[in-house]
Amino acid sequence: MRKLQAELTRDFPAARMVSEQWIGFTDVNGSGMCQPDGWIVFPTHIVLLECKLTQTPVAQKQMRELYVPVLMHIYGLPVICVQVVKNLICEPGQEVKGLKELTSLSLAGEDDLTWFWL
């Protein structure tokens, strides 16, 4: 995550990236805590980044069911999920090719995105 954050800061100095921040919340199950790997705050949306060595459907579920509702509550903005991986186990449905795409991602699709990042 540190390498990704350094690259983002270099290429987009105005973008605000938050990484490894613990967030407390209360939902129908009571009080809880979560720690997304990172997210980027843009004026119109949030890009949630979950970094994994190997692509996994568990990460998509965790982002959609836990992190997205929390971030939407905090910022009041739509959240786009991007799983950042070094190893693919299946063909990604929608693939992000680089940092510049993060600034202009379409909010129309509900599909989760994968970024094969070395």
In the structure encoding, which two tokens stand for residue 85, read together?
């991986």
Q: What is the pLDDT along the chain (118 residues), one digit of tens a residue?
A: 677 767 776 766 666 788 889 999 998 999 999 999 999 888 888 889 998 889 888 888 999 999 999 999 999 999 988 888 888 877 766 777 766 676 666 654 546 777 776 5
Number of H helices, E strands in the chain: 4, 8
Domain locations in the chain as residue ranges: 2-116
Contact 16, 38 (CB under 8 A): no
Per-position DSSP letters for 10-22, written without gaps between them: HH-TTSEEEES--
Under CATH, what is the fold of the domain 2-116? Trna Endonuclease; Chain: A, domain 1 (3.40.1350)
